[in-house]
Chains A and B, each alone.
Chain A
């Protein structure tokens, strides 16, 4: 393991390397910042040179580092021949850069691995010419490299020197050119540039929770003969975080109440509590592992019934005018199983949140959720329901809906409706329960019974049964049979949806019709629209974009909502089935599993014999 605490303020150092630069040429300084005052950095080079993508090129024969000062220099001139043989080892890539690894001693076991903060990479970009003359260099080249500067300084560490501005090879090449550096920064920033040594250092320990980015500028002034040129580049310093603050509760809120009533399904979110942390470490990748939460309980019922979902989110807080990142943790108490309607209980669920990276004693917090589980009863609001049915109604005609009290609120409770006939000779109806909806759909099951003259009033008892608890509720329904029997048109299709014209639609009946006649919907004619023209058994239920539980019994009732077959013409498919939108008129042939959406045929009738005679 590398020396604890010492670290490099950059992960990569760069410099240019010209061919045939003489031995002894200084290249650059690396710096190390320390964790405690006693530490003394010792710099060591890795044994190998690396080429593109860190492929090992060769043993390092050319570069050396001064153990105490961090000065990297050429120990031996790197000539054309060396370069050629190094290029040949670069896995086929053109050799543009040579990389070195600098370690803070002792070196690690596997030297190929160079991981910040205890190792820094030095990238030397190879310039395929010999060193230039001073007069050919631009002012910028005396001052800064193209690769840009950026620094990382850990918070809460002793101050130290972290950068040396001088470009050593240029300075050695052109000793007569005067170069000076200056930091442009607001007053009070904790950095300092020494005019003499051209070193930049921190004045005091930094605190990320106060400020995490310093966007400084570095100005370089070059004096060449009579001219003076300024070059300004960005000099960003990022303060690195450590887990030095404990999690806390915003406004001290550590308790939330939750009531479980109609929504009893597994996965229901019962309550939320928020924990705030000024740190941004641990980061998203390791947050779930290091920021733990556990339900504190010895009761297996509690641990099986609830779980906690942790939703971390980065936020920003204002600290003395600068925005600083922080972390917000949302803890959601979630039902881990569906509860039966009979369950009745009050419990306090305690959740221990632990910031395991935090070194102090206050790294953990206790959250309390007061959960009340109320039993729900199944009952009908009305003591009796009444509906009416037309004598001409066809099979699958939907007469009405039955629903227990608060049925729209229920979630995760399985209710089934059943009919018990009180007038056995006239039992013409059926009931179907929609999944998830907790609603019963009452429909005509046998249209011949409705037509019997003796059946003028049909009575049922309807039972709503909760499958899990076997609890049930009852109510009675009376269905009055209305109207007189009308003769049926001959040669009509069994499905309304087959008809393509208004006239043939409205004179025929079909499955699901309430009065024995299909109904026509006139669309708005606006291209592919949800409101397309079509023929349907009942405008209330079809097409409404939902293939309901009765419609799904038989494909001919409402193929517009329920088809899974081919749709020909301009259309948009429904989410799972049916036609969401269509062009012109949509009609369907349920036996062939095909629907057609197309513009109306010529509106004017073809010239018939009569019109010919007139002409």
Chain B
């Protein structure tokens, strides 16, 4: 069946068509002789060639032009969908030919998020029985409460203990853990556990260092985040862009957390939920972000990289890094989640 977003009425962004997912679009294309032959041609063009040689080829260019009219051009993928990787592979097979190689921000291959933070708060109040008011009480450690809430849910508890035990297992004195397996377990946790639980652990608000340290430790940073060397952020971005999943999650983060000058919250369409979701979506990839220290209120998050060694690209590197470290949209979203407040959007 066609995957169309089942969104609450009135919250859909203006101008949005319901996109077909790329796996489905691929099926539609395969059913049509012209489309499928052009798609095959394009895939051959992209395989093992750089963009410029590909575009210099008449046949490749013609294939690209025809495909821009096909359902494949507009297709999108869903986070955590069945065959997500296959969907993203189809998406990038066309879009790699369309976007510039050096593009700073890329379009997100994911469907736009239409749910909002307030939806989470509504659900949170059902299971905690206290509602968002509890967030305002002074003495409690919200990160501890979040861990408790997770332990009371079978699914959350199971996937949390799974990633903790994998990420904590030391392989040898020189190898802290199996980073690849740890990342996979973290991805499963954030993909399969509802965000009511995961966000509470990741974005809990803190008043003291013990709480903030617990928040920083959520993703077991000594295994999943820190590394012996801190690579250059642009080099790290290049590594991320060679992987379809990482590239997609990063593009999604930029689409949803990029600072907007036109909105009240600095977030695109004032949607905190979308920003937090795409932030959490990068955990478990090369670009895994985390809190840089255990300061309770001065929230700074960053991937494990720096701008040393940028050469003439320092400005661009700083710009890339600041989307994490000095991003008012992301900061506002994390704080709004911690305080249990969301902006009211009149439809």
Contact = CB atoms under 8 A, between A and B. Distances in A.
A53 interface: yes
A94 B14 contact: yes
A53 B103 contact: yes
B82 interface: no
Contacts of A114: 100
A104 to B, nearest CB: 17
B103 A54 contact: yes
Nearest to A95: B15
B235 A93 contact: no
Given A54-B99, A54-B100, A92-B19, A575 B235 contact: no
Given A114-B100, A575-B172, A240 B312 contact: yes
A490 to B, nearest CB: 42
Contacts of B55: 110
Contacts of A115: 100, 102
Contact of B98 (A55, A283, A285): A55
Nearest to B261: A146
A221 interface: no
B315 interface: yes
A53 B106 contact: yes
Contacts of A93: 15, 107
Interface size class of B (residues with CB under 8 A): 35 or more
Interface string A450-490: 00000000000000000000000000000000000000000
Given A52-B107, A94-B14, A146-B261, A280 B102 contact: no
A94 B255 CA distance: 12
A91 B74 contact: yes
Contacts of B313: 283
Given A92-B74, A113-B100, A575-B170, A312 B309 contact: yes
Interface in A118-169: 146-147, 150, 152
Interface size class of A (residues with CB under 8 A): 35 or more
B17 interface: yes
A283 B101 CA distance: 18
A285 B99 contact: no
A148 to B, nearest CB: 10
A427 B11 CA distance: 87
B152 to A, nearest CB: 22
B309 A91 contact: no
Interface string A281-315: 11111010000000000000000000000001110
Interface in B306-336: 308-315
Contacts of A446: none
B73 to A, nearest CB: 8
Contact of B311 (A53, A55, A241): A241
Contacts of B52: 110
A377 B52 CA distance: 62
Interface in B158-198: 169-173
A147 to B, nearest CB: 8
Contact of A112 (B100, B171, B311): B100
Contacts of A25: none
A327 to B, nearest CB: 8
B62 interface: no
Nearest to B106: A53
A52 B15 CA distance: 13
B292 interface: no
A313 B232 CA distance: 11
A53 B173 CA distance: 46
A314 B107 contact: no
B34 interface: no
A282 B232 CA distance: 13
A281 B103 CA distance: 21
Contacts of A241: 311-312
A97 B191 CA distance: 33
Nearest to B111: A92
Contacts of B261: 146-147
Of B19, B98, B261, B311, most buried by chain A (CB within 10 Å of CB) is B311
Interface string B259-276: 001100000000000000
Interface string A380-404: 0000000000000000000000000
Interface of B: 13-17, 19, 52, 55-56, 74, 98-103, 105-107, 169-173, 231-232, 234-235, 238, 261-262, 308-315
Interface of A: 52-55, 87, 90-96, 109-110, 112-115, 146-147, 150, 152, 238, 240-241, 280-285, 287, 312-314, 325, 327, 573, 575-576
5 contacts: A53-B107, A109-B56, A146-B261, A147-B261, A313-B308
Given A280-B310, A282-B311, 10 more contacts: A52-B107, A94-B13, A94-B14, A113-B101, A150-B315, A283-B232, A284-B308, A285-B238, A575-B172, A576-B170
